[in-house]
Amino acid sequence: MNHAMLQRIVEEVAARLRRRARSTATLSVAQLGEADIHSLLCQHASLRIVQVDLPLLEQLAGRAFVEELIYADAEMRPMTFRDYPRGAGYLLALRERVAAEIESRLA
């Protein structure tokens, strides 16, 4: 087996693992038993907002509109990976506003 073929195999395996990691999230029974369900639901909601709802609204209304919507109730600007709204209330309100905006623009 030559070096080029081995490199292609490694790249293909890595690509498949990355696709699998993006498309699935699994917890063992023990992990689920120890998990805080409220936190899991908040994490799921935040992932949905980031991966589905915000990109769709950005296509419909533009990036500037989406950024203003995100910062409207955040009381912090700019947000960083260390400083961001941590309460579930913020995410719930953002999700409701984003959903209403998408619905009104698709109606």
| pLDDT tens digit sequence for 17-30 | 777 766 666 667 77
**Are 65 and 105 within 8 A, CB to CB?**
no
Q: What percent of the chain clears pLDDT 70, i.e. is strictly above it?
A: 92
pTM of the complete model: 0.58
pLDDT level of residue 79 (50, 70, 90 thresholds): confident
**Which amino acid is residue 13, in one-letter code?**
V
What is the C-alpha separation between 24 and 17, in angstroms, rounded?
Answer: 11
Q: Is the peptide bond before 55 cis (omega within 30 degrees of 0)?
A: no
pLDDT level of residue 100 (50, 70, 90 thresholds): very high
